[in-house]
Amino acid sequence: MTTTPPTTPLVLGAMMFGTTIDEETSFALLDRFVERGGVWIDTADCYSFWASESGQGGDSERVIGRWLAARPGVRDRVRISTKLGAEPLWAGSWPEHRAGLSRRAVLDAFAGSLDRLGVDSVDLLWLHQEDRTVPIEETVDALAELTGRGLARRVGASNHPAWRVERARAHARSIGALPIDAMQLNSTYLRVRPGTRPPGVVHPFGVLSDEQLDYARVNGLEVWAYTPLLSGAYDNPAKEIPEVYDHPGTARRLEALDAVASELGAPRGQVVLAWQVARGIRPMLGGSRVDQLDVALDGVRLALSPAQLERLSSPA
């Protein structure tokens, strides 16, 4: 008798599907993810314009759409999350000229996502990055049109400061619409030096802060963490931990991480994922190999003792 695996809090990030990760490998990752209890698959309309032949996004959504079409019934087992607002208006125009978050841009971009994914709705629609040229109320009105028609079941904000999220939520409540209930930000175990950002994080408010986390906890918002494993640098000797993490606090945190990893007999990366889950954060994995996915799926199921969680969260 076949048993259904327990669901996992890990999110499968599909950023490079269809570009640096070919379709066969993408399908293998998606199949394995579902086989092991995976539910959430995350993509964006702009993935991955910087690696595509056209200079624009859409490849990731198209691959997921073809996978869904090739796996009858799997749509009922997974939840699809996509983002909009960061797609270049034309090849080479990012970041100066991107779609943005006006009403027209939101509705047009979302229609394109549904078409590429081959679905009639998505489970979570994200604002990919803030757009200060548009009142957040206009963006929320557009989201309300989509949620009101059942085309997006939930809405979230990625790379937004807490005050913009709060303003968006207040406006949604005032018009009787579904408010933003999730935030997606860069987060890992190590912390960058003040005034710096990790490589690849171009958004001023893209790194999860204590204030954003506190805001999310108090108001019941989910927090999703992208790049939680520093692209493999915790465990791969060939990859250096980025220079922005080079400060005294890092040495203390790595010492605590090594101690807990030794106690559990687990790699550093698995402990990082377990630490995120223990703090109520949903980590995202963007790996390119099935074995990497398996290691991460094992990691989020590691159980940390209260003492280990305290040691990791407040290293001496």
Count of residues making up the chain: 316
- pTM here is 0.96
Q: Across residues 39-49, what is the average pLDDT?
A: 98
Which is catalytic among the residues 47, 189, 215, 234? 47
The type of residue at 181 is: D
Task: Report the phi/psi class of residue 165: left, alpha or beta, with left for phi > 0 and alpha for psi in -120 to 50.
Answer: alpha
Using CA atoms, how far residue 288 sits from 24, 27, 203, in Å, is 11, 11, 24
pLDDT tens track for 151-163: 999 999 999 999 9
Round the average pLDDT of the chain to a whole number and report it: 96
Q: What is the pLDDT of residue 30?
A: 98
Structure tokens at 198: 């990790």
* Ordered alpha helix ranges (H), the chain: 23-35, 59-70, 103-117, 136-148, 162-174, 210-219, 248-264, 268-278, 290-299, 306-313
pLDDT-derived band at 114, boundaries 50, 70, 90: very high
Q: What is the pLDDT of residue 282?
A: 98
Contact at 8 Å (CB) between 20 and 31? no
Instruction: Determine how many CB atoms are found less than 10 A away from the CB of residue 3.
Output: 5
Contact at 8 Å (CB) between 72 and 42? no
CA angle 287–289–294, rounded 5-degree value: 85
Instruction: Determine how many CB atoms are found less than 10 A away from the CB of residue 313.
Output: 14
Q: Across residues 70-89, what is the average pLDDT?
A: 98
Q: Across residues 64-73, what is the average pLDDT?
A: 98
pLDDT-derived band at 71, boundaries 50, 70, 90: very high
- Domains, the chain, ordered by start: 11-245+269-310 (3.20.20.100)
Residue 234 among the catalytic residues: no
Contact at 8 Å (CB) between 44 and 73? no
Structure tokens at 75: 């749509």
pLDDT at 140 over 70: yes
Contact at 8 Å (CB) between 95 and 50? no
Q: What is the pLDDT of residue 219?
A: 98
pLDDT-derived band at 3, boundaries 50, 70, 90: low
How far is the C-alpha of 47 from the C-alpha of 294, rounded, in Å? Answer: 24
Answer whether the bond into residue 102 is a cis peptide, omega within 30°: no
Q: What is the pLDDT of residue 1?
A: 46
How far is the C-alpha of 97 from the C-alpha of 87, rounded, in Å? Answer: 9
Contact at 8 Å (CB) between 37 and 5? yes
Q: What is the pLDDT of residue 51?
A: 97
Q: What is the pLDDT of residue 56?
A: 97
Using CA atoms, how far residue 13 sits from 47, 98, 103, 171, 285, in Å, is 11, 22, 27, 30, 5
pLDDT tens track for 189-247: 999 999 999 998 999 999 999 999 999 999 999 999 999 999 999 999 999 999 999 99
